[in-house]
Amino acid sequence: MSDTQQKASENVVISKVGVAAGYVDDRLASANFTKRLLDKVFPDHWSFMLGEIALYSFIILLLSGTYLTLWFNPSMTEVIYNGSYLPLKGVKMSEAYSSALNISFDVRGGMLMRQIHHWAALFFVAAVTVHLLRVFFTGAFRKPRELNWLIGTGLLTLAILEGFAGYSLPDDLLSGTGLRIAQGIIQAIPLVGTYVAMFVFGGEFPGTDFIPRLYSVHILLIPGILLGLITVHLIMVFYQKHTQFAGPGRTESNVVGYRLYPVYMAKAGGFFFIVFGVTSLIAGLVTINPIWLYGPYTPSQITAGSQPDWYIGWLDGAVRLTPNIEWNILSHTISWNLLIPALIIPGIMFTLLGVYPWIEAWVTGDKREHHILDRPRNAPTRTALGVMALSFYLILWIAGGNDIMATAFNLSINTVIWTLRFALFAVPPLAFVLTKRICLGLQRRDKEKLLHGYETGRVLRLPHGEFIEIHEPVSFEERAVLLSKVDVPALEITSGEDEHGVRNPKGRKAKIQAKLSGWFYTENVSAPTEEELAEADEHFAHQLGAHERTAIDSH
């Protein structure tokens, strides 16, 4: 194509776009919005893709889930299986289980879609969890993003519920066992538990009503809420602009990165296909939830070593660890052995998670907006709190597999449980102290690197016999990051009385706040002063000179 021809064809394309855009703009005044949308700059960092994985997994779940609904029949009507999976031929089962088997063995590609759906669900909750950890440890939840954090907590809760509802639907032996446990827990709620259990299940367990009811919850109610909340979550990210890590050219008042159009459309769009592709490959190669091996559900059978999907593990672990406390008062039963692990502990954990931004803001008295992310080491108390909570969660999660551990390592199940019971109280505080110390150590090293450079490993012998190691200044990028550490003073402790001796009604609260703020900040290593930095630069220049002299001498 000659140059003039090319130019002409470009003009045609542009004017076509112009006509289409004009048509829409005449009706929606969309030009201004579209301009800002396409031009929007996003910062680049691998950890920002975690939320993307969650979003893409959700889209994969919607697509594969819709496909599954074309054949799945959530009915408890008893049928005799007559599909192509021979070991179960002639076995009585519910239509739900039978149709799930048909999807697996008689619909071509049905097995692949079932496996994609299940793997995507596992990835979805995992991605949401890791994304949440990233947001927590970098302080991205701080003002102005507290509300989006709260939505995120809601999304995590719903994602776990939705996953549980999903793997309970096929009515195989494993899923029925999970439902039996859920029903037992509902029944343990004081006062209303028995009624709620009867109403939810349409009578006694298992009944014939629950699976169809759960189906509408799983394919309509929860995904609908998830979709709505995800939309709000994304709009808020867009509106408030994404946070960014410190680096050259990054400030609290700018965003440095690439434009949505075309770079991020290609990158993020491409990443969707990668997530979908990897999920499909794993689904094709690694079997998950082989319901055909479990057999149909019956309340009198179970397989040893039953394990829920990974995200339910911590709840099951909590139930396994709680001692058998049950009260009988005035001929009424309070089952603390279920209420504590299944309702109280998760209730406290999710509440603390949701309100954490406000707790931290109150403790630190910090009311500023934050758009530059914290390095976890520079907020040691927060990081330590996070690791502490994480270790608590992990011990519960490990406890969910206590029987597997006992058989795999040939241990007594009693020893495993008692060890984990103690660990649940001993490990988190230990994790807190250790993490805080490690963070402070890293802060010290950062300061040292700024002032004395990094150790090159090159040792020089000076003419008078002394050995020295050459230190070099850190790279430009690293220097920009290290310099970005903000020194935050702790709140001052105000006296409870003013100069006339009148008690300040808010004095006590302020005192507690100041003390907590001190606990949050005081041990932080201060950033180097300008004088120190200038001195360090001079020192480097000087050392460089000495260094060159030595090089000349040696020739």
Partner 1 sequence: MNEIELSSSDPIGARDGKDVVSGVPVLPLPAHTPRRADIDPIAAKRAERQVALMFASSIALLIAFTVAYIKVPNTSLVAIPVLGTVGTNHVLLGLTLGLALFLIGTGAIHWAKKLMPDVEVTQERHSLSSSAAERAEVVEIFNRGAAESGFGEHKLIRRTLLGALALLPIPLVVLLRDLGPMPKTLLRNTIWKKNVHLVTDATYQKIKASDIPVGGLINAVPENLLEIEESEGNLNQRGKASIILVRMDPAEIIAQQGENWDYEGILAFSKICTHVGCPISLYQQRTHHLLCPCHQSTFDLANKGNVIFGPAARRMPQLAITVDNEGYLIARGDFKEPVGPSFWERG
Stretch 508-527 residues interacting with partner 1 (CB under 8 A): 527
DSSP codes of every residue in 275-311: HHHHHHHHHHHS----HHHH-B--TT---TT----GG
Q: Does 328 bind partner 1 (CB under 8 A)?
A: yes
347 binds partner 1 (CB under 8 A): no
| Six token digits for residue 385 | 């709190």
Nearest to 380 by CA among 425, 426, 432: 432
Q: Is 252 in the site for partner 1 (CB under 8 A)?
A: yes
Which residues 6+ apart lie within 8 Å of 448 measured at CB? none
For the segment 33-72, give every residue that binds partner 1 (CB under 8 A): 39-41
Q: Answer yes or no whether residue 255 interacts with partner 1 by CB under 8 A.
A: yes
Q: Which two tokens stand for residue 357?
A: 């931004």
Smallest distance, partner 1 to C-beta of residue 483, A? 4
Query: Measuring CA to CA, how many Å separate 180 from each of 157, 259, 274, 302, 326?
Result: 21, 51, 38, 11, 20
- Cβ proximity to partner 1: between 154 and 453 the closer is 453
Return the ∠ at Cα 90 (arms to 87 and 93), rounded to 5°. Answer: 95
495 binds partner 1 (CB under 8 A): no
Regarding 422 and contact with partner 1 (CB under 8 A), the answer is no
Using the rule CB under 8 A, which residue among 184, 212, 346, 507 binds partner 1?
A: 184
Nearest partner of 173 among 309, 292, 312, judged by Cα: 292
Among 35, 89, 368, 437, binds partner 1 (CB under 8 A): 368
- Among the residue ranges 1-9, 155-163, 177-185, 423-431, the one whose residues contact partner 1 (CB under 8 A): 177-185
Of 125-133, 240-248, 420-428, 437-445: span binding partner 1 (CB under 8 A):
240-248
Site string for partner 1, 82-121 (x = CB under 8 A): --x-------x------------xx-xx-xx--x------
Cβ-Cβ contacts under 8 Å for 501 (sequence gap 6 or more):
none
Closer to partner 1 at the Cβ: 129 or 517?
Answer: 517
Instruction: Please pick, from the candidates 238, 258, 362, 393, the single residue that binds partner 1 as defined by CB under 8 A.
Output: 258
Smaller CB distance to partner 1: residue 15 or 82?
Answer: 82
Binding flag, residue 320, partner 1 (CB under 8 A)? yes
Contact positions with partner 1 (CB under 8 A) in 443-462: none
Per CB under 8 A, contacts with partner 1 among 196-235 are 197-209
| Interface with partner 1, residue 5, by CB under 8 A | no
Q: Nearest-CA neighbor of 118 among 49, 173, 67?
A: 67
Q: What part of residues 379-418 is at the interface with partner 1 (CB under 8 A)?
A: 402-403, 413-414, 417
* CA-to-CA dists, residue 204 to 30, 135, 184, 198, 201, angstroms: 56, 43, 11, 6, 7
- Which of 91, 126, 130, 263 forms a contact with partner 1 (CB under 8 A)? 263
The torsion defined by the Cα of 107, 111, 114 and 118, in degrees rounded to 10, comes to 180
CB-based contact 341:315 (threshold 8 Å)? yes
Nearer to partner 1, 208 or 494 (CB): 208
# chain residues binding partner 1, by CB under 8 A: 125
| Smaller CB separation from partner 1, 224 or 305 | 305
Closest to partner 1 by CB, 253 or 554: 253
- State how far the Cα of 9 lies from the Cα of 448, in Å rounded to an integer: 60
Tell me how crowded residue 107 is: count the other CB atoms within 10 A of its CB: 17
